[in-house]
Amino acid sequence: MCKLAVIALGGNALLRGNQSGTIDEQEQNTTDTLENLIFLLEEGYNLVVTHGNGPQVGNILMRNDAGEQIYDIPQMPLDICVADSQGGIGYMIERMMHNVLKKHNIKREIVTLVTMVEVDKSDPAFENPTKRVGRIYNKEQSGKLAKDKGWEFREEVKVKEGWRRVVPSPQPVSILNYKVVETMARSGTIVIASGGGGIPVYYDENGNVRPAEAVIDKDLAGSLLASSVGADEFYILTDVSYVYINFNKPDQQVVEFLNLADTRKYLAEGMFAEGSMAPKIRACMQFIEKGGEMSVITEAFKLADKKFGTKITMEYED
């Protein structure tokens, strides 16, 4: 049976920090990243691709805001904005993938799925919203929106008198269409799914699917997706070539191979910063704990060069 890998595109895989975010920039970054996946296809892997959506969904929210203020167009809720970003980014990845495969004379079907991800409405995250989304408002604007829409705001540290909306970031519980993803992926179709962490939904008391005004960590959702479809390997493509311990200290050290026990120990010691590397480490650990063979964290454009990347397994690689 062909090996199955789930690839999570993040960091500069789609958009680099020094770029304005034009479609030309995003398409070129996507193409460069997808070129690095070709070796997996040539080695016979089946692929599922997932991706982040932070800058893109932020822009959608700001367009929402401008449309309401200028043209009186009703704002769409956060779940619709996440779905919009899944469709737009998925389309871009799918189209660039078609062109990359054509260049390498590889024939594979590609499909993008708008993906719902279940969360638990009793998750403590709903009592403590922390994820900042959308534009920055002044105190008067944020106060009015809090009153009119019930939104919560937190003061921005780097912007004087700036306030930004915060939403919960609950744990993903299940990928609603993972069986479809697995069936198609194992048949050889390249599946793009669970973008931006998925659209957060929950089941109400009647068993109906309801939207949750929240966002899900894309790496944790990617890890859950990888475990759900029985993937052998899980890759997180970001903007660093390796994971470091003692990062930015005189004794900073690259780690190329980590076993699960040492990874858990370093995480407990605070070696990985919250808000950057720690969520990625947790996602990789969860995949290994659920039976995955290997997780890899590496730079988006260096995956094909196997000398790069930190590999996490149950035990050390020989």
Q: Which residues are catalytic?
A: 11-12, 131, 218, 280
Count Cβ atoms below 10 Å from residue 150 Cβ, excluding itself: 8
Report residue 151 as tokens. Answer: 């939104």
Query: What is the residue type of 289?
Result: E
Q: Which residues pair with 295 in a beta bridge?
A: 234, 312
209 sits in which H/E element: strand 209-211
**Cα 257 to Cα 298: distance, rounded to the nearest angstrom:** 12
- What are the φ and ψ backbone dihedral angles of 288, each rounded to 5 degrees? -65, -40
Q: What is the DSSP string of 122-190?
A: T-GGGGS--EEEEEEE-HHHHHHHHHHH--EEEE-SSSTT-EEEEE--PPP-EETTHHHHHHHHHTT-E
Question: Pairing mode, if any, of strands 116-118 and 257-259?
Answer: unpaired
Half-sphere exposure of 232 (CA within 13 A, CB side): 12
